[in-house]
């Protein structure tokens, strides 16, 4: 029998390991294989769990999923479920952009990461990445005025930028 199912937390799992307890916190020897379940999945990432819209594929989201298997000789791998916009590195738990993200269509991305140990135990957690809105306006004024324009250049050694928000619609004779 191998331990599977939910866990009561990282500290409890580590405590069980230090006591040599088997599945469910019972006395040592409850599990003939000696497997202790994997811990809960936590975010140990360096960032704020956010990403700019239109960020290039591979851009980090600030999430690094991590779970601990206290058995010592088992390894943990990670899988992401619930979105095709993000991906997780199976070995490191780092979550990154996997496809084009549009703020107007998806202002936040809700997904689940599952950690699975080589002993068969698994744990999962739900995460949210906030998508940051970026100015995508093709107009010079940064707004929606199709008559706006901007010219950048230089006159000798003096650079300049000239802009307007509308054209003079009166004809001059």
State pTM to two decimals.
Answer: 0.63
Examine the pLDDT at 90 and tell me if it is beyond 90.
yes
Task: Please compute the mean of the pLDDT values over residues 78-103 and round it to a whole number.
Answer: 96
Domain boundaries, the chain: 10-132, 137-173
**Model pLDDT, residue 65:** 96
**Model pLDDT, residue 54:** 93
DSSP the chain: ----S--S-HHHHHHHHHHT--GGG-STTSSTT--------EE--SS-SEEETTPPTT-EEEEEEE---TTSS--EEEEEES-SSEEE-TTT-EEEE-S---TTT-SEEEEEEEEEETTS-EEEEEEEEEEEP-----STTSSS-TT-EEEEEEETTEEEEEEESS---S---
Q: What is the CATH number of domain 10-132?
A: 2.60.40.60
Kindly indicate the confidence band of residue 147, based on its pLDDT and cuts at 50, 70 and 90: low
pLDDT in tens, 92-139: 999 999 999 999 999 999 999 999 999 999 999 999 999 999 877 655
């Amino acid at each position: 029998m191998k331990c599977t199912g939910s866990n009561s937390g990282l500290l409890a799992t580590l405590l069980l390991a230090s006591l040599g307890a088997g599945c469910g916190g019972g006395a040592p020897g409850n599990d003939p294989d000696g497997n202790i379940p994997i811990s809960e999945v936590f975010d140990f990432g360096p960032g704020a769990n956010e990403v700019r819209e239109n960020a290039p594929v591979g851009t980090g989201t600030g999430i690094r999923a991590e779970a601990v298997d206290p058995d010592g000789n088992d390894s943990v791998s990670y899988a992401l479920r619930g979105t095709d916009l993000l991906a997780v590195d199976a070995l490191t738990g780092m979550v990154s952009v996997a496809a084009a993200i549009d703020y107007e269509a998806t202002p936040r991305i809700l997904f689940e990461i599952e950690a699975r140990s080589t002993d068969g135990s698994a744990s999962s957690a739900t995460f949210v990445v906030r998508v940051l809105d970026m100015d995508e306006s093709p107009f010079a004024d940064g707004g929606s005025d199709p008559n706006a324009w901007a010219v950048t250049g230089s006159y000798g050694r003096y650079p300049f930028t000239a802009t307007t928000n509308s054209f003079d619609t009166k004809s001059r004779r």
